[in-house]
């Protein structure tokens, strides 16, 4: 085999085709256990899955491969990704696996793998595991047994995150709109919030195997926006297919992305002296307005590469308590080692309870700067520093942008022959002009 196995977020592709065909999935399960054996760890793995029609057979194939290598395999059934991360970290398992393609259409699927600490595999671990899977010198093992099903383990996860907000006092019998994307949280989110005393109004909570993320969930927040206004709810939350991220809508139907959620949570944690280091981790794509608004509160913004696993790595390295992405992956590492849409919702509700304020009031304190993004197709990805005219115009524009407390971000796409030019600043027309100025020079040299 010479094909690529891991992508930017685990293994992902069309269900039934490499690398998510039956024989390869069995090899992945076996290879994961072999990699654990090489590291002298006990062989035990917990598996959860989303609601895609392919998730159950992929789970079974992976479990069969793992069991053939002597592993103790436990399935918790349909469950959000953070539940598997939590159980891997605290339930005595040496690895955790989630069968999900997150926000992708139902025809896709994926495999996310967590280490014993509930942390996603880093690139070094992915490379080592892929080498075993793609090594033709060993044969696919004989079939092992199916996993042991233990649905009670999911209750431990819910108890853990519920402890963050044991009693939503101060909010009253608030109506809470919840969009579960017809995904992994459909069976747990309404129950969780209902038990906490909220009047839960649901949408996207009727999975049929093919409707996950179909016009609903965090990738289609406009659906929740209309739903919130029609049902007159003071707020709503849109989760994604595997439940590790959330996008919010306030009572006026305004959509709040991860930057606004990070700001609200940072201010709340700071008020309770829980924002360790007075710093927050965000990716390169977060709006410069988040940086400025946090600085006004005495909070430093630490940037990292795009991807929730890089957010978690930075949080761990710098021993910080909050990080996230614009896409809605928000991580509270003191509580869970991965993003969690349900936990994020509880933290937002806690901030509302503590302040007695509505979500729109809390979020409007974040100053969001206008943003312009220009994509330029290039014939080759030449190092821009070796092109004097391109490097010169970038340096000139960057100086002007910084003077306006804005930001310039230029990078090649990782998947396309495209250079992305992103500017943020106070004046929309001015940053648009500067972006086009850079694009013109790039097109002349590389287009």
pLDDT in tens, 317-339: 999 999 999 999 999 999 999 99
- Do 163-363 and 371-446 have matching folds? no
Bridge partners (DSSP) of residue 308 are none
**What is the predicted pLDDT for the residue at 197?**
87
Contact in structure between 234 and 175 (CB atoms under 8 Å): yes
If one counts every other C-beta atom within 10 angstroms of the C-beta of residue 331, the result is 29
d(CA 54, CA 210): 9
**What is the predicted pLDDT for the residue at 315?**
98
Reply yes or no on whether the pLDDT at 166 is more than 90.
no
For residue 258 the two structure tokens come to 């991860």
* pLDDT tier, 349 (very low <50, low <70, confident <90, very high otherwise): very high
* pLDDT tier, 169 (very low <50, low <70, confident <90, very high otherwise): low
* pLDDT tier, 37 (very low <50, low <70, confident <90, very high otherwise): low
What share of the chain has pLDDT > 90, as a percent?
83
pLDDT per position as a tens digit, 411-447: 998 668 999 999 999 999 999 999 999 999 999 999 8
Reply yes or no on whether the pLDDT at 270 is more than 90.
yes
Mean pLDDT of the chain: 93
If one counts every other C-beta atom within 10 angstroms of the C-beta of residue 134, the result is 16
Give start and end residues of each alpha helix (H) in 272-378.
Answer: 288-295, 308-318, 341-355, 359-363
Q: CATH top-level class for 163-363?
A: alpha beta
In 3D space, the residue among 340, 326, 339, 346 whose CA is nearest the CA of residue 268 turns out to be 346
* pLDDT tier, 163 (very low <50, low <70, confident <90, very high otherwise): confident
DSSP 368: P
Reply yes or no on whether the pLDDT at 1 is more than 50.
no
Bridge partners (DSSP) of residue 407 are 424
Element (H, E) at 27: helix 22-38
In 3D space, the residue among 125, 349, 158, 112 whose CA is nearest the CA of residue 246 turns out to be 349
In 3D space, the residue among 275, 358, 367, 269 whose CA is nearest the CA of residue 321 turns out to be 275
Catalytic residue numbers?
102
Reply yes or no on whether the pLDDT at 230 is more than 80.
yes
In 3D space, the residue among 213, 254, 218, 219 whose CA is nearest the CA of residue 237 turns out to be 218
> What CA–CA distances, in Å, run from 274 to 214, 279, 321, 444?
38, 11, 8, 51
In 3D space, the residue among 158, 154, 161 whose CA is nearest the CA of residue 74 turns out to be 154
Domain boundaries, the chain: 11-156, 163-363, 371-446
Average pLDDT for 1-8: 73
**What is the predicted pLDDT for the residue at 8?**
79
CA-based diameter of the chain, in Å? 65
pLDDT per position as a tens digit, 38-51: 655 668 999 999 99
* pLDDT tier, 170 (very low <50, low <70, confident <90, very high otherwise): low
- 168 or 248: which leads in pLDDT: 248
* pLDDT tier, 2 (very low <50, low <70, confident <90, very high otherwise): very low
Q: CATH top-level class for 371-446?
A: alpha beta
- 34 φ, ψ (degrees, to nearest 5): -65, -40
Average pLDDT for 229-233: 96
d(CA 161, CA 85): 13
Can you state the percent helix, strand and coil of the chain, rounding each to 5? 40, 20, 40
The interaxial angle of helices 258-271 and 341-355, nearest 10 deg, is 50
Reply yes or no on whether the pLDDT at 168 is more than 60.
no
- 402 or 57: which leads in pLDDT: 57
- 200 or 2: which leads in pLDDT: 200
The interaxial angle of helices 153-162 and 81-90, nearest 10 deg, is 100
Question: 3-state DSSP call for residue 149?
Answer: strand
Strand order in 255-256's β-sheet? 199-203, 175-179, 235-239, 246-250, 255-256
d(CA 176, CA 234): 7
Match 């349909």 to its residue by tokens.
Answer: 78
* pLDDT tier, 145 (very low <50, low <70, confident <90, very high otherwise): confident
Q: Which CATH number fits domain 11-156: 3.30.1120.10, 3.40.190.10, 3.40.120.10, 2.130.10.10?
A: 3.40.120.10
Bridge partners (DSSP) of residue 246 are 239
Bridge partners (DSSP) of residue 412 are 419
- 392 φ, ψ (degrees, to nearest 5): -65, -45
Average pLDDT for 183-205: 95
Contact in structure between 285 and 371 (CB atoms under 8 Å): no
């Amino acid at each position: 085999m010479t094909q690529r196995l891991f992508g930017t977020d685990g293994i992902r592709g069309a269900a039934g085709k490499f690398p998510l065909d039956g024989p390869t999935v069995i090899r992945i399960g076996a290879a994961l256990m072999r990699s654990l054996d090489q590291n002298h760890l006990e062989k035990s793995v917990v598996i959860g899955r989303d609601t895609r029609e392919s998730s159950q057979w992929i789970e079974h194939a992976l479990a069969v491969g793992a069991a053939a290598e002597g592993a103790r395999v436990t399935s918790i059934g349909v469950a959000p990704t953070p539940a598997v991360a939590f159980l891997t970290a605290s339930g005595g398992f040496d690895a955790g696996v989630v069968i999900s393609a997150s926000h992708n259409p139902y025809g896709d699927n994926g495999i996310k793998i967590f280490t014993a600490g509930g942390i996603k595999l880093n690139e070094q671990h992915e490379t080592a595991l892929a080498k075993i899977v793609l090594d033709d010198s060993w044969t696919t093992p004989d079939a092992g047994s199916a996993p042991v099903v233990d649905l009670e383990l999911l209750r431990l996860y819910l108890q853990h995150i519920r402890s963050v907000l044991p009693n939503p006092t101060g909010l009253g019998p608030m109506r809470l709109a919840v969009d579960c994307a017809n995904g992994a949280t459909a069976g747990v989110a309404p129950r969780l919030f209902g038990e906490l005393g909220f009047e839960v109004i649901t949408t996207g909570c009727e999975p049929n195997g093919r409707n996950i993320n179909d016009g609903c969930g965090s990738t289609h927040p406009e659906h929740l926006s209309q739903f919130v206004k029609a049902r007159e709810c003071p707020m709503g939350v849109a989760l994604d297919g595997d439940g590790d991220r959330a996008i919010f809508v306030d009572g006026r139907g305004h959509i709040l992305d991860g930057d606004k959620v990070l700001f609200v949570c940072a201010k709340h944690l700071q008020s309770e002296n829980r924002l360790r280091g007075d710093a927050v981790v965000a990716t390169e794509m977060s709006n410069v307005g988040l940086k400025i608004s946090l600085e006004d509160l005495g909070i430093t913004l630490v940037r990292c590469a795009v991807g929730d696993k890089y957010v978690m790595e930075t949080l761990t390295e710098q021993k910080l308590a909050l990080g996230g992405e614009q896409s809605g992956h928000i991580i509270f590492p003191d509580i869970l080692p991965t993003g969690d849409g349900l936990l994020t919702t509880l933290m937002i509700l806690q901030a509302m309870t503590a302040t007695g304020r509505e979500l729109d009031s809390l979020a409007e304190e974040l100053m969001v700067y206008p943003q312009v993004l220009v994509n330029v197709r290039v014939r080759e990805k030449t190092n821009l520093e070796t092109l004097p005219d391109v490097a010169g115009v970038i340096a000139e524009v960057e100086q002007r942008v910084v003077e306006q407390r804005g930001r310039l971000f230029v990078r090649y796409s990782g998947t396309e022959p495209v250079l992305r030019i992103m500017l943020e600043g106070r004046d929309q027309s001015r940053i648009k002009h500067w972006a086009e100025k850079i694009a013109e020079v790039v097109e002349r040299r590389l287009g």
